Amino acid sequence: MWKRLLLIRGAELLMFAVLAAIPVAVQNSYALGLLTLLAIYGILLIGLDVTVGYLGQVNLAQAAFLGLGAYTAALCVTKLGSLMLVATLAAIVVCTILGALLALPSLRLEGPQFALATLSFTALTVIVLNELEWLTGGAQGLSLTRPPILGHALTAREFYWLCVALLALVWVAMRNLLASQWGRAFEALRDSPIATDAMGVGTYRHKVAAFALGSALGGLAGALYAFNFQYLQPQAFTYELTVILLLGVVLGGRKSLWGAFVGASLVALLPNLLSNRLLFEVISAAGFALALFAGIRGLFRKTLGPFQAIAPIVATGVLVFGGLLVSNTEDWRKAIFSLMLFSVVVGLPEGLMGFASKFLSRLFRIPEAPRPAPSPLDRALPARSVGKGGPMLELRDLKRYFGGVKAVDGVTTTVRAGEIHGLIGPNGSGKSTLVNVVSGLYTPTAGEMLLHGHPLPRGSLYKTAQDGVARTFQNLQLFTGMTAIENVMVALNGVYKRSRSLPLVLLGLGRVEEKRAEADALALLEFVGLGDQARTPAKDLTYGAQRFLEIARAIARKPEVLILDEPAAGLSHPDMHRQMELIERVHQRGVTILIIEHHMDVISELCDTVTVLDGGKLIAEGSPDEVKRHPKVVEAYLGEVDVGEKPAAPAAR
């Protein structure tokens, strides 16, 4: 533990100590200006990484928020005579509000559409700042004087120390955030928004909060930018800066505070790199040599595909030879930025710090963070005392149509408390559609759904999960970029109280809850037999282990009704028996279960009641033995049976 703490936290302390000491040793005002810009861009890129790294969205609006924060602070100083603190807070508030307003419609879009929406916002911001000449000075620019603090006018060195101190505060606050339930939620919704909602974590509100937080940091950086340069022009916040910022995040490494710092160093130094032709050629040649070595090595070891190996070599080669041909590299800066971005995205998707962190972990043998002792099972999954036989989940004339296709057509059934209720039928009979409607993934066309006699939310996975219905999926919906224990921690219900407040989390006041959440998640992993794989990334688990993990994540919700959608699909025979035992143990904790399954031996052994669908309609209901011998069930599975033939049990598939 101490070795890990010393190496990781010690490196952070050393970095900030070096940054704080540099002005004492270096008296060059130009170098001090670059370092000040590095600290400002560090704050800016930490905010950008929230949306690019954690949400997985290409945000092209961060340059706009830098400009809006800068102009807000400048106008507060020049028009209102505000103090530096007041002007900075105003910039943060304005950018937070504008970020939330932009996020509300934009985050309903995905991929290129979202990128275009944020790019349009950047273009519009520059136009507005240009056209409002009476307020911003337009293309002529806006001059300001850096306001004093407590009557003291800050020197360039003192202002640099202020920027470094604010960078350190942002660093600590974001470290607290990203290690909390908020950070896990950000990462989870990037991997699977559907599963995030199904686990009771509101995807949309977390996306908006993340974007607004990144925008707020853009506003803070903008205020510092204005006080640093003391002169603003709209053209400083155009598309070109947007590309440089994106390049900084990707090259430095996404989902990493260190990556944001490395990226900020690149952003601050890149304009000077282009003005020094010799330095540009040296770095381009080094990049080409690295790409060539990594590409050839990856091809021989078969760790890289041909495109991933060759494309960065070609792109960096163009940088080297193109730099020799053009007369002025600064005239080609947009093409250079594009080639650099392409090379990094294809050849080094984890960024420099993603690669460096793995290398340094192996080099220094940094141990994993110690795990707490597992919680008692009664705390992680309390046993419920339910009166067996009473109605738990009631469906009344439930319908779901897709145009002219009646996927669910007037189904009426009751899932009774304390039972395992099976749902079977041939392929295309409407089973998965029915549970998708019940769980909130689809909105019903007509009919009623009642839980304990109260209507279930319609068309909302999040609200349905909050009401006590948890589910697994026919096609696995794990958070593949997270470990097994993190998958379960995302879904935990009743643990996070203080951590719901974003300000409290930023201040680091949710750590006690984090320890309890980790212990509860570990108890549930041991319950499903994955305790020894808690730190294993979900994508590296065997298929059977992934199925068990999805169940562990679902029961972390402490549900009243657990829906299992074909949980045994694709499992080996031993894993299937282990899973049947697990489902029985979950049931013994008082959880009512609705299970879809094609394996009739699973249904026969586990279920108290079985409902059979065919063509979206209910055709039979009763005990497993009664259902297997029902003529309509036999006909649905095997076709019409000739008179005199003895009906056989339906096949498993």
DSSP track, 48-96: HHIIIIIS------HHHHHHHHHHHHHHHHHHH---HHHHHHHHHHHHH
Contacts 24+ apart (CB under 8 A), 166-171: 166/39, 166/43, 166/220, 166/224, 167/16, 167/39, 167/42, 167/43, 168/16, 170/42, 170/43, 170/46, 170/217, 170/220, 171/12, 171/46, 171/257
Task: Give the tens place of pLDDT for each residue, 363-382.
Answer: 767 667 777 788 898 888 88
Of the two residues 530 and 502, the one the predictor is more confident about is 530
Task: Give the tens place of pLDDT for each residue, 475-486.
Answer: 889 998 899 999
CA atoms of 611 and 299, how far apart (whole Å): 54
Of the two residues 498 and 90, the one the predictor is more confident about is 90
Write out the CATH class of domain 388-483+537-638: alpha beta
CA atoms of 76 and 72, how far apart (whole Å): 6
- Which residues have CB under 8 Å from 393's CB, separation 6+? 414, 415, 438, 449, 450, 451, 469, 561, 592, 594
pLDDT exceeds cutoff 90 at 14: no
pLDDT exceeds cutoff 60 at 1: no
- Measured in whole angstroms, the distance separating CA 594 from the mean position of its chain's CA atoms is 29
The most confident of the ranges 255-269, 335-349, 393-407 is 393-407
pLDDT exceeds cutoff 60 at 641: no
Q: What is the pLDDT of residue 640?
A: 62
Task: Give the tens place of pLDDT for each residue, 101-148.
Answer: 999 998 888 888 999 999 999 999 999 999 999 999 888 989 999 999
Residue 582 near residue 616, CB atoms below 8 Å: no
Q: What is the pLDDT of residue 4?
A: 61
Mean pLDDT score, 630-637: 83
Q: What is the pLDDT of residue 328?
A: 78
pLDDT exceeds cutoff 60 at 180: yes
- Which residues have CB under 8 Å from 128's CB, separation 6+? none
pLDDT exceeds cutoff 80 at 153: yes
Residue 569 near residue 499, CB atoms below 8 Å: no
Mean pLDDT score, 381-405: 86
- Confidence band of 528 (pLDDT split at 50, 70, 90): very high
Domain residue spans of the chain: 31-243, 277-346, 388-483+537-638
Least confident segment among 134-148, 271-285, 418-432, 462-476: 271-285
pLDDT exceeds cutoff 70 at 649: no
Q: What is the pLDDT of residue 455?
A: 93
Alpha carbon distances (Å) from 241 to 56, 181, 211, 249, 268: 20, 32, 19, 13, 11
- CA atoms in the 13 A half-sphere facing the CB of 254: 22
Task: Give the tens place of pLDDT for each residue, 535-566.
Answer: 999 999 999 999 999 999 999 999 999 999 99
Q: What is the pLDDT of residue 469?
A: 93
pLDDT exceeds cutoff 80 at 465: yes
The DSSP line for 191-238 is: H-HHHHHHTT--HHHHHHHHHHHHHHHHHHHHHHHHHHHSEE-GGGGS
Least confident segment among 93-97, 429-433, 499-503: 499-503
Q: What is the pLDDT of residue 653?
A: 37
CA atoms of 480 and 543, how far apart (whole Å): 12
Indicate the average pLDDT of the chain.
Answer: 87
Q: What is the pLDDT of residue 367?
A: 66
Furthest C-alpha separation in the chain: 103
DSSP 3-state helix, strand, coil percentages of the chain (rounded to 5)?
60, 10, 25
- Which residues have CB under 8 Å from 165's CB, separation 6+? none
Mapped onto helix, strand or coil, the DSSP state of residue 609 is strand
pLDDT exceeds cutoff 80 at 88: yes
Least confident segment among 187-196, 197-206, 307-316, 318-327: 318-327
Mapped onto helix, strand or coil, the DSSP state of residue 612 is strand
**Residue 330 CB coordination number (10 Å):** 12
Of the candidates 107, 121, 63, 57, the one whose C-alpha atom is nearest the C-alpha of residue 208 is 107
Of the two residues 274 and 612, the one the predictor is more confident about is 612
Of the candidates 373, 372, 377, 385, the one whose C-alpha atom is nearest the C-alpha of residue 527 is 377
Mean pLDDT score, 276-292: 82
Q: What value, to the nearest 5°, has the Cα angle with vertex 123 and ends 263 and 41? A: 20
Contacts 24+ apart (CB under 8 A), 148-154: 148/84, 149/83, 149/84, 149/85
pLDDT exceeds cutoff 50 at 643: no
What is the gyration radius of the CA atoms in the chain, in angstroms? 29
CA atoms of 207 and 185, how far apart (whole Å): 9
pLDDT exceeds cutoff 90 at 43: yes
- Confidence band of 650 (pLDDT split at 50, 70, 90): very low
Q: What is the pLDDT of residue 354?
A: 75
Name the DSSP letter for residue 561.
E
Of the two residues 18 and 273, the one the predictor is more confident about is 18
Could you give the percent of the chain with pLDDT greater than 70? 94
pLDDT exceeds cutoff 80 at 330: no
